[in-house]
């Protein structure tokens, strides 16, 4: 290998490792649904020694209520006959602050490192498994309700060839609950709950040649495991107790492994075309549903206590699939300002709509985005963007009209949002 290229790689690796060690412990997790694409090749577009970007993001899902469907049946509650009702699709809004710090460490090779954070302002973090059996849009309940951190770095190996590597930080939670319940006079009930949060580091890598780049993103997922051990003396202080235990498993969030291709072409002096596509491995998708596992049976012992065996939960039935997601944008230069209009189409991650147990949904969506960038004489760069997404209507007809969601319903909706950011350059 050429000694110059080899020395650049060694320097790049050493500084990147130092940056990762110093920043990885400071936060928990990345950008929101409406955030500007975090192309790692874009790190090399800023020539300032230090750039700090502050921003705010807001998004609002608007999903109509589903009426006149089965919301309870004997399998899921104590009702004797199926009960009809409405499903309120109240998915949460997201209001978040973004912060990006970018440093140009070597102007000659354009060696750049950056840390990017996304922090929800209406709640530091939210976990919500959503409805297990009622109609549920699987990707919109709590995915944007979590803090995130992305650490990236990039450098030129030659004037036309550059590379980047980074880390996305994830986490998982393990919990144990021990409970004892009593109903007799003069007795007490108590419980103990303990939990442990474990971080995970998800690798990313990017290569770029001229105006083309290819980025790899690793699979990012986290789990929630709850083990419950409980005892109850519920009739009096002398009645035999009932002991039970079970475990609960749920996915906190899931982001698929993906390969992303991006390119751009100057059409005229005023217009630049951006295009790209990502291949996303959704076939490994894990549902957020909190599913109770069956208890371990233990024989009764002289009325001192009996262990109850519960019926195990049933995960929502679906077949997830890998997707090719195309996108494009057109930039219009308006003096020093610029306007960008973008479009992306993302098909459903599920092969078909649900027909049996469970109602996990992911309608195909058309994303439209408009962004305006205004640089000032002092070097500040203001950016305003707005977006709207149309969730294409899906018709669900259940094979059993008495199952949850039966006999049939339609789901669709809109996503609205936007944001404001300002990038401030600093010199040495």
DSSP string, 354-392: --SS--EE---EEEEEEEEEEE-TTS-EEEEEEEEEEEE
Q: Are 422 and 53 in contact (CB under 8 A)?
A: yes
Least confident window among 109-118, 269-278, 366-375? 109-118
Least confident window among 20-34, 339-353, 410-424? 20-34
Residues 6+ apart with CB under 8 A from 10: none
Report the length, in residues, of the chain. Answer: 428
Task: Specify the long-range contacts of residues 2-8, CB closer than 8 Å, at least 24 apart.
Answer: 5/157, 5/158, 8/109, 8/111, 8/155, 8/157
Q: Are 149 and 117 in contact (CB under 8 A)?
A: yes
The radius of gyration of the chain from alpha carbons, rounded to an integer in Å, stands at: 26
Q: What pLDDT does residue 235 have?
A: 55
Q: Are 381 and 336 in contact (CB under 8 A)?
A: no
Question: At residue 45, what are phi and psi to the nearest 5 degrees?
Answer: -85, -15
3-state secondary structure of 162: strand
CA distance 263 to 246: 51
Whole-model pTM: value is 0.80
Quickly tell me which residue has 């700090």 as its tokens.
Answer: 52
Angle of CA points 195, 199, 201, to nearest 5°: 165
334 confidence band (pLDDT: 50, 70, 90): confident
Q: Is the pLDDT of residue 396 over 90?
A: yes
Question: Looking at per-residue confidence, does 10 or 85 come out higher?
Answer: 85
Least confident window among 4-13, 20-29, 258-267, 272-281? 20-29
DSSP per position, 279-319: EE-GGG------EEPPPPP----TTS-EEPPPPPP-PPP--
Question: Looking at per-residue confidence, does 372 or 124 come out higher?
Answer: 372
The CATH homologous superfamily to which domain 23-426 belongs is: Outer membrane protein transport protein (OMPP1/FadL/TodX) (2.40.160.60)
Q: What pLDDT does residue 29 have?
A: 23
Q: What pLDDT does residue 223 have?
A: 78
Residue closest to 103 by CA, chosen among 149, 48, 55: 48
CA distance 352 to 249: 25
Question: Looking at per-residue confidence, does 337 or 17 come out higher?
Answer: 337
pLDDT digits (tens, 9 = 90+) for 140-166: 887 777 788 888 888 888 888 888 888
Residue closest to 9 by CA, chosen among 158, 115, 114, 209: 158
Residue closest to 100 by CA, chosen among 146, 52, 47: 52
Domain boundaries, the chain: 23-426
CA distance 118 to 149: 7
pLDDT digits (tens, 9 = 90+) for 184-214: 667 777 878 787 877 778 898 888 888 888 8
Q: What pLDDT does residue 206 have?
A: 87
346 confidence band (pLDDT: 50, 70, 90): very high
Question: At residue 43, what are phi and psi to the nearest 5 degrees?
Answer: -60, -30
Q: Is the pLDDT of residue 240 over 70?
A: no
What average pLDDT does the structure give for the chain? Answer: 79
Q: Are 420 and 376 in contact (CB under 8 A)?
A: no
Handedness of CA 133, 135, 136, 137 (dihedral sign): positive
Handedness of CA 399, 405, 410, 411 (dihedral sign): negative
What dihedral angle (degrees, nearest 10) is formed by the CA atoms of 6, 9, 11, 15? -170
Q: Tally the C-alpha atoms within 13 A of residue 107's C-alpha that lie toward its C-beta.
A: 6
Q: What pLDDT does residue 333 have?
A: 92
Q: What pLDDT does residue 280 have?
A: 94
Q: Is the pLDDT of residue 239 over 90?
A: no
DSSP state of 350: B
Question: Looking at per-residue confidence, does 25 or 50 come out higher?
Answer: 50
Averaged over 361-366, what is the pLDDT?
Answer: 94
Averaged over 27-56, what is the pLDDT?
Answer: 55
Q: Is the pLDDT of residue 45 over 60?
A: no
DSSP per position, 195-256: EEEEEEEEEEEEEEETTEEEEEE--EEEEEEEEEEEEEE-S-SSSPPEEEEEEEEEEEEEE-
Q: What pLDDT does residue 296 have?
A: 52
CA distance 354 to 400: 11
Averaged over 131-138, what is the pLDDT?
Answer: 84
């Amino acid at each position: 290998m050429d000694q110059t290229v080899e020395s650049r790689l060694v320097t790049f690796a050493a500084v990147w490792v130092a940056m990762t060690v110093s920043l990885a412990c400071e936060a928990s997790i990345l950008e929101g649904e409406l955030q500007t694409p975090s192309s790692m090749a874009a790190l090399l577009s800023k020539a300032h020694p230090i750039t700090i970007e502050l921003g705010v993001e807001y998004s609002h899902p608007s999903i109509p209520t589903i009426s006149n469907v089965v919301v309870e049946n004997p399998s899921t509650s104590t009702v004797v006959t199926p009960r009809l009702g409405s499903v309120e699709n109240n998915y949460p809004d997201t209001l978040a602050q973004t912060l990006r710090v970018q440093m140009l460490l070597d102007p000659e090779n354009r060696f750049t490192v950056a840390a990017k954070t996304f922090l929800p302002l209406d709640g530091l973090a939210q976990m919500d498994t959503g409805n297990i059996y009622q109609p549920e849009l699987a990707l919109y309940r709590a995915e944007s309700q979590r803090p995130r951190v992305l650490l990236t770095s990039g450098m030129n190996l030659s004037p036309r060839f550059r590379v980047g590597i980074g880390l996305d930080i994830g986490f998982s939670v393990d919990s144990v609950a021990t409970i004892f319940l009593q109903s007799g006079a003069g007795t007490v009930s108590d419980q103990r709950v303990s939990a442990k949060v474990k971080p995970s580091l998800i690798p990313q890598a990017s290569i770029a040649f001229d105006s083309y780049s290819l980025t790899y993103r690793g699979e990012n997922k986290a789990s929630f495991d709850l083990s419950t051990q409980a005892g109850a003396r519920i009739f009096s202080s002398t009645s035999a107790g009932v002991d039970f235990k079970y475990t609960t498993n749920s996915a906190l969030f899931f982001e698929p492994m993906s390969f992303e291709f991006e390119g751009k072409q100057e059409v005229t002096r005023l217009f630049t075309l951006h295009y790209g596509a990502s291949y996303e491995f959704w076939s490994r998708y894990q549902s957020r549903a909190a599913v109770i596992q069956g208890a371990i049976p233990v024989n009764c012992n002289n009325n001192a206590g009996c262990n109850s065996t519960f019926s195990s939960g049933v995960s929502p039935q679906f077949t997830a699939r890998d997707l090719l997601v195309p996108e494009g944008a057109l930039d219009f230069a308006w003096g020093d300002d610029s306007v960008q209009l973008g479009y992306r189409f993302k098909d459903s991650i599920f092969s078909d709509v649900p027909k049996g147990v469970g109602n996990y949904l992911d309608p195909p969506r058309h994303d439209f985005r408009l962004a305006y960038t205004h640089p000032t004489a002092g070097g500040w760069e203001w950016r305003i963007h707005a977006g709207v997404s149309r969730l294409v209507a899906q018709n669900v007809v259940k094979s059993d009209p008495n199952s949850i969601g039966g006999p049939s319903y339609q789901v669709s909706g809109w996503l609205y949002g936007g944001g404001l950011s300002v990038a401030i350059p600093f010199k040495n």
